[in-house]
């Protein structure tokens, strides 16, 4: 029997088409996610003003609000479109999750950066970051690939280089777990124990970039002499 066209399996269909590289069919179906229950204040804002939604028209002299929608990685992935909107003559306001503010402060093409609780100025159009590929008619061949489009703070780069300057050989950063509260965490995280064989690699320095609570795995496995934990000094996600 044919499956009923529920929102859930429509979204699954969209992801399957996108994985196959069929963007022309996949991205329009992917918009069905907007009919699922809202899980973000910014997504709710997008849905509240359907008449202001940008679908690819002229932006010269107009203002547009770009709204984050899902996870931090999704925001990082799709923010590459912001400079393209600026090139079309738009004034671009970008809404991001608070842990990404420092990183995104250096993203080209953004006139204003906002996060939860900030006052948002009036805008002519809005668009979810994850709807931008559809608005641009993106294909596999035309994925924006101006690399890099995100940049680390140069002063902090120098500071880390100096801090690790006395460590010789190959330097390897390790992350083994995502957010433990994520419903799909078992698909994204592994036990640190599985990385233990790497510790026998000669002339190699290992560093933990893992944030709490799983950073405690290092001590629990007795690896404090082999893995240098840098996470206490992190103050931003990226």
Query: CA distances (Å), 86 to each of 107, 131, 232, in order?
Result: 12, 17, 37
Q: Which ranges constitute the DSSP H helices of the chain?
A: 7-19, 23-30, 41-48, 72-78, 82-87, 101-104, 132-135, 154-163, 217-220
Is 227 strand, coil or helix? Answer: strand
Is 76 strand, coil or helix? Answer: helix
Per-residue pLDDT of the chain (238 residues; tens, 9 = 90+): 444 467 778 889 999 999 999 999 999 999 988 887 766 555 555 666 777 899 999 999 999 999 998 888 899 999 999 999 999 999 999 999 998 998 999 999 999 999 988 998 999 999 999 999 999 999 999 999 988 999 888 998 899 999 999 998 999 999 999 888 888 888 989 999 999 999 999 999 999 999 878 889 999 999 999 999 998 887 666 6
pLDDT, residue 104, reads 93
**Strand pairing class (204-208; 170-174):** parallel
pLDDT, residue 8, reads 78
N-term to C-term CA, the chain: 46
Query: CA distances (Å), 9 to each of 25, 30, 34, 159, 196, in order?
Result: 15, 11, 14, 48, 39
pTM above the 0.85 mark? no
Q: Which ranges constitute the DSSP H helices of 40-173?
A: 41-48, 72-78, 82-87, 101-104, 132-135, 154-163
């479109």: which residue's tokens? 81
**Which one-letter DSSP state was computed for residue 125?**
E
Contacts of 30 (CB under 8 A, 6+ apart): 11, 14, 15, 18, 130, 134
- Rg (C-alpha) for the chain, rounded Å, is 21
User: For residue 33, which of 70, 85, 81, 82 has the smallest C-alpha distance?
Assistant: 70
pLDDT, residue 195, reads 95
């Amino acid at each position: 029997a044919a499956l009923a066209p529920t929102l859930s399996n429509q979204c699954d269909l969209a992801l399957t088409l996108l994985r196959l590289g069929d963007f022309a069919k996949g991205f329009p179906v992917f918009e069905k996610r907007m009919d699922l229950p809202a899980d973000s204040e910014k997504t709710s804002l997008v849905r509240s003003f359907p008449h202001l939604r940008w679908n690819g028209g002229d932006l010269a002299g107009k203002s547009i609000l770009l709204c984050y929608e899902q996870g931090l990685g999704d925001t990082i992935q799709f923010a590459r479109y912001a400079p393209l909107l600026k090139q079309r003559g738009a004034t671009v306001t970008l809404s991001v999750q608070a842990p990404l503010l420092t990183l995104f402060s250096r993203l080209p093409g953004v006139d204003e950066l906002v996060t939860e609780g900030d006052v948002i100025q009036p805008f002519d159009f809005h668009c979810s970051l994850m709807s931008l590929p559809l608005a641009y008619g993106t294909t596999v061949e035309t994925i924006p690939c101006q690399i890099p489009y995100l940049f680390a703070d140069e002063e902090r780069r120098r500071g880390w280089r100096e801090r690790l300057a006395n460590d010789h050989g190959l330097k390897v950063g390790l992350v083994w777990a995502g957010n433990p509260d994520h419903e799909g965490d078992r698909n994204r995280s592994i036990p640190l124990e599985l990385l233990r064989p790497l510790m026998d690699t000669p002339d190699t320095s290992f560093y933990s970039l893992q944030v709490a609570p799983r950073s405690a795995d290092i001590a629990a496995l007795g690896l404090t002499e082999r893995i240098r934990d840098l996470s206490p000094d992190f103050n931003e996600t990226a």
